[in-house]
């Protein structure tokens, strides 16, 4: 070969093209295999289009779900679907009429069938359940929720129980209301009552399972519903805009961050900036069992305009799924002041979370 004509780009282009063709062919093969498995075993109950309607005897007792309904299907992570396909409905507190297939098919094959199920939902505006990371104790999450959360905060004899109700609308939006009931120790004695009620709106700005992240913007208004004279409220409304970001890390790790401001809607009060991060990792008990998520949060807040320093707190905590369906979860932790630790008090934080979309509180145990 004439030296001048020799070029490395030719072989590289050919090599890369072959690799791409091979990857595409492998993906095609997996898709075909997934469809084959689905059409061999799953189709008899779930139907060719994933909507059921084929096994009418079965449906008199328990209708299978509609996999074309993205509002339902996309919020479920693959591991939940795979658990049910492998170990049967009871693995997630569903009917035993959904049989276990783990004895007859490998987990890899069942995963391919689950991937085929994914093709029934065609509106990818609905964020995937994998991006629904474990809720931290203080740091907000980016995923839109259908949840009810009861949060208890206890700090030197003062206890606040906050009832939070969250509801999605459309693929990307959520509104919420939070009602705190406080019991506080004051010089004049103990007072108990409703605190400052908050209303919030959240919108998902971007999400991608490939990138493993989700980003949302929120706005919240805290109303002066708590009696200030009794120590139950601030006595003025506060507007809180903030953004939240969640990123899946390798091996079931995650990081969630939140940055925002609190603007008092009354003269003479300073605005506040806050930033928070939660880093953790989930561990599965057994192959598809209980989910334990230890995490640590770092919280920073600073009053603007006053020249005051930053308040830093650290919150070690843990979340655990309580039932088979994993839609009832408990978390607890301690909020430890790092700066001014001699004057700022530590608090104990606990929440009980119920994802009401997934079923009643007492279902799926």
Which positions from 122 to 161 touch ligand HEC by CB under 6 A, shown as an x/- string?
A: ----------------------------------------
Which residue in the set 70, 91, 112, 114 belongs to the binding site for ligand HEC (CB under 6 A)? 114
Q: Measured from the CB atom, is 101 or 288 closer to ligand HEC?
A: 101
Does position 106 interact with ligand HEC (CB under 6 A)? The reply is no
Q: Which two tokens stand for residue 34?
A: 């997934």
Closest CA to 215 of 223, 205, 224, 200: 205
Asked if 195 and 167 count as a contact pair (C-beta separation under 8 A), the reply is no
Q: Measured from the CB atom, is 96 or 309 closer to ligand HEC?
A: 96
Does position 45 interact with ligand HEC (CB under 6 A)? The reply is yes
Report how far residue 76's alpha carbon sits from residue 132's, in angstroms, rounded to the nearest whole number. Answer: 9
In this structure, what DSSP letter does residue 127 have? P
Q: Measured from the CB atom, is 84 or 320 closer to ligand HEC?
A: 84
Question: Quick one: which segment of 84-92, 134-142, 225-233, 259-267 binds ligand HEC (CB under 6 A)?
Answer: 84-92
Strands (E), the chain: 147-155, 158-169, 173-186, 189-194, 198-208, 213-222, 238-249, 253-264, 272-281, 283-284, 291-303, 311-321, 328-337, 347-354
Asked if 218 and 201 count as a contact pair (C-beta separation under 8 A), the reply is yes
Nearest distance in Å: CB 263, ligand HEC:
41
Asked if 259 and 243 count as a contact pair (C-beta separation under 8 A), the reply is yes
Which residue in the set 81, 126, 254, 351 belongs to the binding site for ligand HEC (CB under 6 A)? 81
Closest CA to 217 of 180, 186, 259: 259
Q: Any idea what the Cα angle at residue 62 is, between residues 60 and 66, rounded to 5°?
A: 110
Nearest distance in Å: CB 104, ligand HEC:
9
Place of tokens 């953790």: 280
Q: Measured from the CB atom, is 65 or 316 closer to ligand HEC?
A: 65
Bridge partners (DSSP) listed for residue 354: 148, 328
Which residue in the set 66, 101, 196, 331 belongs to the binding site for ligand HEC (CB under 6 A)? 101
Gap between the terminal Cα atoms of the chain? 73
Does position 113 interact with ligand HEC (CB under 6 A)? The reply is yes
Question: Quick one: which segment of 90-98, 255-263, 274-282, 346-354 binds ligand HEC (CB under 6 A)?
Answer: 90-98
Q: Measured from the CB atom, is 90 or 332 closer to ligand HEC?
A: 90
Which residue in the set 42, 112, 131, 184 belongs to the binding site for ligand HEC (CB under 6 A)? 42
Does position 65 interact with ligand HEC (CB under 6 A)? The reply is yes
Q: Measured from the CB atom, is 58 or 334 closer to ligand HEC?
A: 58
Question: Quick one: which segment of 73-81, 160-168, 224-232, 277-285 binds ligand HEC (CB under 6 A)?
Answer: 73-81
Q: Measured from the CB atom, is 101 or 245 closer to ligand HEC?
A: 101
Q: Measured from the CB atom, is 69 or 311 closer to ligand HEC?
A: 69
Report how far residue 317's alpha carbon sits from residue 227's, in angstroms, rounded to the nearest whole number. Answer: 31
Question: How many other C-beta atoms are found inside a 10 Å radius of the C-beta of residue 18?
Answer: 10
**Contacts of 15 by beta carbon, 8 Å cutoff, 6+ apart:** none
List residues binding ligand HEC (CB under 6 A).
41-42, 44-46, 58, 62, 64-65, 76, 80-81, 84-85, 89, 92, 94-95, 97-99, 101, 110, 113-114
């Amino acid at each position: 070969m004439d030296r001048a004509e020799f070029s490395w780009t030719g072989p590289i282009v050919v090599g890369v093209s072959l690799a791409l063709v091979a990857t595409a062919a492998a993906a095609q093969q997996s898709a075909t295999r997934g469809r084959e498995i689905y059409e061999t075993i799953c189709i008899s109950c779930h139907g060719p289009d994933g909507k059921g309607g084929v096994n009418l005897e079965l449906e008199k007792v328990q209708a299978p779900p509609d996999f074309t309904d993205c509002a339902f299907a996309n919020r479920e992570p693959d591991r939940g679907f795979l658990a049910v396909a492998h170990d049967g409905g009871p693995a997630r507190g569903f009917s035993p009429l959904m049989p276990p297939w783990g004895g007859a098919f490998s987990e890899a094959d069942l995963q391919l069938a689950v991937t085929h199920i994914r093709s029934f939902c065609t509106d990818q505006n609905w964020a995937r359940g994998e991006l629904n990371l474990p809720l931290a104790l203080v740091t907000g999450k980016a995923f839109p929720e259908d949840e009810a959360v009861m949060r208890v905060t206890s700090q030197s004899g003062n206890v606040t129980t906050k009832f939070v109700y969250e509801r999605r609308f459309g693929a990307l939006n959520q509104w919420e209301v939070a009602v705190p009931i406080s019991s506080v120790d004051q010089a004049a004695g103990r007072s108990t009552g409703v605190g400052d009620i908050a209303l919030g709106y959240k919108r998902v700005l971007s999400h991608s399972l490939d990138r493993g992240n989700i980003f949302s913007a929120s706005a919240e208004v805290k109303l002066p519903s708590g009696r200030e004279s009794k120590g139950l409220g601030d006595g003025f409304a506060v507007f809180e805009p903030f953004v939240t970001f969640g990123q899946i890390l390798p091996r079931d790790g995650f990081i969630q961050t939140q940055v925002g401001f609190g603007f008092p809607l009354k003269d003479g009060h300073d605005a506040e900036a806050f930033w928070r991060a939660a880093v953790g990792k989930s561990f599965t008990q057994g192959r598809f069992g209980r989910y334990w998520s230890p995490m640590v949060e770092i919280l920073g807040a600073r009053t603007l305009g006053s020249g005051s320093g930053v308040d830093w707190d650290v919150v070690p905590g843990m979340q655990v799924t309580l039932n088979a369906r994993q839609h009832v979860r408990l978390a607890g932790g301690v909020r430890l002041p790092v700066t001014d630790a001699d004057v700022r008090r530590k608090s104990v934080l606990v929440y009980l979370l119920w994802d009401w979309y997934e079923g009643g509180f007492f279902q799926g145990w």
